[in-house]
Amino acid sequence: MGKNVYHAKEDPTYKKVYIDTERWEERPDPNKPDGPGIRYFYVHGGFRDEEANRNIKFSFCFPEKEAYRGRFFHYLCPFPGPDEETASLKHTGEDDGIAFALAHGAYFIETNMGSRSSFGAAADPTLTWKASAMCAEYSREYASGLYGGGRPYGYVYGGSGGGYKTMACLENTDTWDGGAPFVIGCPVSLPNSIALHVYGQRVLRHQFQSIVDALDAGGSGDPTAGMDALEKAGYEELCRMGFPPKAWFIEAEGTVDPGALPVLMPGVRAADPTYFTDFWTVPGYDGADPDSSSCRDRLVFDGVVRAVHQPGSSDDDEYSNGVDTAWKKQLAKGNGAWIELEKVPEGKDLYLEGVNITLTSGKASGKVMILGGIEGNALLIGSAYGFSDIGEVIGDIQPGDTLHLDNSDYIAVQMYYRHQVPDDPSFKAFSHLRSEDGKLCIPQRAFIMGYGFNGTGTVQDGNIHGKMIMNQSLMDESTWPWCADWYRQKVVETKGSDSDYRLYWNENCLHGDVSALQSSRVVNYLGSLRQSILDLADWVEQGTEPRKSEAYTYHDGQILIEQDPAKRFGLQARVTLLAGGKKKAVVKAGEPVALEVLAEVPRDAGSVTAFDFCLENRKIDLHDGAREVFDHPAQVVQLGTDSCGVTRAKGTITVTYDRPGTYFAAVRVKSNVHGDANDVFTQILNLDRVRIVVL
């Protein structure tokens, strides 16, 4: 029996709408930085239903009538909060989803999805898509009053947790005409993909630079050279599970971020509390093996407080509604607070990530914070989950109070995925955890947590109502790229074909959805995403078939995209950069070397609009951190389109290095489906690198 389709207008809450703000506003036009801004009519309101314990709020941003094209774009945040409906208002430039919608004849919708709190799971997770549907349907009524005309077309999109919600919207309601989920997980991703990443951060923490160097341009190609047995086994398992090995460059550059794991762990503890004991005591779990990396890195320590230091001021607006930042609203930051102990743990290779600081006596007894590091005899406070003011806790701690340091749970949860193997063989990456006869060799928990852990109250089934274009990053450090392949198979299984579905891969892209994610190693996927939304609208409104899904194969946990540009399809250009005709050039100091780039744009995906080179990995400090500078443009020489529809362009630049050393030069390629270099929203990016050894 199929699922019941939710009709938002039949929900009793739909009749309890209110409007509290209506006014004209203006925001900068990223495409015309020196010109006039974009005027829009801002509407804020919601649905009052205290009896049903619902707190549904929305924001609508309507373009001027002459710009309106009878459509709306509806963004879904990964982690909704009580005031999430206003989060996108502060975005600017290329990141401004509101300006993107207005510039393309759409009004923009954002809601709080009925959330009452930033902490913990909603009492009714299905409200995320039910509330979204109510707001979208009401927006149509409001738009008809504002513009006249018929029913506006609607397109919903979101990434990561917002991707789960986007799929749930299209599978469980009839509200939207299409959707564009991106960087998605699958029903068994959480908390497993996040935990797996942190496992790799621990077991490979001394190998990141050698891994990245081996996989980089001109590298050896053998990332496991020099690893001990535990490291090699860990690396190979991470790859089989789907972690993209090139993504370890983040840790190689010094950033070790647990992602959303701190806010996911309480859910694991609540649902499966005995796991954290079983892991250290029951044979078959890594923690029960005294020779394991888990036992080697476990830290358990009791200390006595000597002094405390209060935190500094905080910036409550730091975290936004992006796929890599929205979850952070659930954490209180340490902001320079520390606790001095009479003695601290000692050792040559202490693993200090994920250490809980639990007060065991005094007024603050029972409070838990997360260790940010140790300096001298001081414990630096990193963050805390579940309460908003660390200063109040620090103020309750007195000299002589006792505390307990423990990373046991943090290490245990990292390997939770091993004990969450689904029965469904379509989750192919888990197959290596079975023996040749298909039996499981290690203990399994009583239930698979991921099915109920995606925040929507449903499980993806691929039965979409409408059309869908999905974007997935191939260097995604937070979810498994193969999840998009799994969902494509699910669509085919339930719909009989993928005629209403497209899948585009974005190589050299991470999980985050911000324009600042650009360096000599990565580009962002915003241009591909925004173009996909426009293609989705043309598909629905005009019947214009979008480009074919990008060709690829799945192998042992990894996604391998087609390298022949004539067979590749999708949106991204294939980019090849050579130095003196090679991926690795060896030259003398002062000797010029020619860098030549060839970009091959797939059929119907437009043409190259820019070549920008980064020659020395020189960084500038920006408000969002240091970033490498692509400050050497090269002329784009168009080579035409061949019989297979592939459009090629080349560019050349000469570089000279005066000092001996190893340098990496990179080129960032921009393409646009219309060949338009001026539309900041739809420049589709890719890059390539070369290694230059100067003697």
User: Is the same domain home to 432 and 496?
Assistant: no
User: Is the same domain home to 584 and 461?
Assistant: no
- Asked whether residue 554 is assigned to any structural domain, the reply reads no
- Asked whether residue 565 is assigned to any structural domain, the reply reads no
Task: State the burial class of residue 232 (Cβ atoms within 10 Å of its Cβ: 0-12, 13-18, 19+).
Answer: middle
User: Is the same domain home to 245 and 339?
Assistant: no
Tell me the C-alpha distance between 662 and 290, whole Å: 42
User: Is the same domain home to 76 and 152?
Assistant: yes
Q: Rounded to the nearest 5 degrees, what angle is found at the Cα of 67, between the Cα atoms of 64 and 68?
A: 85
- Asked whether residue 222 is assigned to any structural domain, the reply reads yes
Residue 170 identity (one-letter amino acid): L
Tell me the C-alpha distance between 103 and 459, whole Å: 35
Q: In sequence order, which residues have a C-beta less than 8 Å from that of residue 84 and are 6 or more positions away? A: 77, 110, 111, 112, 113, 115, 321
What's the pLDDT score for residue 339?
94
What's the pLDDT score for residue 619?
46
Phi, psi of 221 (to 5 degrees): 85, 0
User: Is the same domain home to 258 and 222?
Assistant: yes
Task: Give the ranges where 204-303 is alpha helix by DSSP (H).
Answer: 208-215, 229-241, 249-252, 261-271, 275-281, 293-297
User: Is the same domain home to 38 and 173?
Assistant: yes
User: Is the same domain home to 378 and 520?
Assistant: no
For strands 552-555 and 501-506, give the pairing.
unpaired
Q: Rounded to the nearest 5 degrees, what angle is found at the Cα of 139, between the Cα atoms of 5 and 92?
A: 115
Confidence of residue 334 (pLDDT cuts 50, 70, 90): low
Whether the per-residue pLDDT at 373 is higher than 60: the answer is yes
Cβ distance 464 to 501 under 8 Å? yes
Whether the per-residue pLDDT at 623 is higher than 80: the answer is no
What's the pLDDT score for residue 171?
98
What's the pLDDT score for residue 314?
56
Q: Which domain holds residue 616?
A: 573-694
Q: How many domains does the chain divide into?
A: 4
User: Is the same domain home to 150 and 196?
Assistant: no
Residue 58 identity (one-letter amino acid): F
Q: Quick one: DSSP state of residue 2?
A: P
Residue of 96, 75, 85 lying closest to 27 (CA atoms): 96
Reported as half-sphere exposure (CB side, CA atoms, 13 A), residue 594 has a value of: 7
Confidence of residue 317 (pLDDT cuts 50, 70, 90): very low
Query: How many other CB atoms sit within 10 Å of the CB of residue 551?
Result: 16
Q: Which of residues 189 and 617 earns the better pLDDT score? A: 189
Query: pLDDT for 127-176, tens place per residue?
Result: 999 999 999 999 999 999 999 999 999 999 999 999 999 999 999 999 99
Confidence of residue 311 (pLDDT cuts 50, 70, 90): confident
Confidence of residue 123 (pLDDT cuts 50, 70, 90): confident
How far does the chain reach from its first CA to its final CA, in angstroms? 70
Query: pLDDT for 490-545, tens place per residue?
Result: 999 999 999 999 999 999 999 999 999 999 999 999 999 999 999 999 999 999 99
Tell me the C-alpha distance between 207 and 10, whole Å: 57
- Asked whether residue 562 is assigned to any structural domain, the reply reads no
Cβ distance 478 to 193 under 8 Å? yes
Residue of 631, 613, 630, 629 lying closest to 621 (CA atoms): 629
Query: pLDDT for 41-71, tens place per residue?
Result: 999 999 998 776 788 999 999 999 999 999 9
**Average pLDDT over the chain, rounded to whole?**
93
In the three-class reduction of DSSP (H, G, I as helix; E, B as strand; rest coil), residue 193 is classed as helix
Confidence of residue 109 (pLDDT cuts 50, 70, 90): very high
Tell me the C-alpha distance between 267 and 456, whole Å: 15
What's the pLDDT score for residue 628?
78
What's the pLDDT score for residue 211?
98
The residue from 406, 437, 462 where one domain ends is: 406
What's the pLDDT score for residue 384?
74
User: Is the same domain home to 313 and 350?
Assistant: yes
The fraction of the chain above a pLDDT of 90, given in percent, is 86
What's the pLDDT score for residue 19?
98
Instruction: For residue 368, give Cα distances in angstroms to 55, 121, 399.
Output: 30, 20, 17
CATH number assigned to the domain comprising residue 666:
2.60.40.10
Residue of 523, 534, 621, 497 lying closest to 180 (CA atoms): 534
Confidence of residue 180 (pLDDT cuts 50, 70, 90): very high
What is the average pLDDT across 356-364?
Answer: 96
Residue of 541, 607, 544 lying closest to 571 (CA atoms): 607
Query: pLDDT for 199-226, tens place per residue?
Result: 999 999 999 999 999 999 999 999 999 9
User: Is the same domain home to 285 and 316?
Assistant: no
Task: Give the ranges where 30-152 is alpha helix by DSSP (H).
Answer: 97-103, 127-147
Cβ distance 47 to 14 under 8 Å? yes
The residue from 542, 562, 583 where one domain ends is: 542
Tell me the C-alpha distance between 268 and 416, whole Å: 9
The fraction of the chain above a pLDDT of 70, given in percent, is 94
The residue from 379, 406, 433 where one domain ends is: 406
User: Is the same domain home to 130 and 12?
Assistant: yes
Whether the per-residue pLDDT at 615 is higher than 50: the answer is yes
Task: Give the ranges where 298-407 is alpha helix by DSSP (H).
Answer: 390-395
Q: In sequence order, which residues have a C-beta less than 8 Å from that of residue 432 and are 6 or more positions away? A: 237, 240, 241, 556, 557
**Directed axis angle between helix 192-203 and helix 229-241, to 10°?**
160
Residue 57 identity (one-letter amino acid): K
CATH number assigned to the domain comprising residue 316:
2.40.10.170
Query: How many other CB atoms sit within 10 Å of the CB of residue 375?
Result: 11
- Asked whether residue 279 is assigned to any structural domain, the reply reads yes
What is the average pLDDT across 323-338?
Answer: 64
What's the pLDDT score for residue 327?
42
Confidence of residue 463 (pLDDT cuts 50, 70, 90): very high
Tell me the C-alpha distance between 531 and 529, whole Å: 5
Query: pLDDT for 564-590, tens place per residue?
Result: 999 999 999 999 999 999 999 999 999
Instruction: For residue 370, give Cα distances in angstroms to 209, 387, 449.
Output: 27, 12, 24
User: Is the same domain home to 27 and 144?
Assistant: yes
Query: How many other CB atoms sit within 10 Å of the CB of residue 684?
Result: 29
Cβ distance 107 to 154 under 8 Å? no
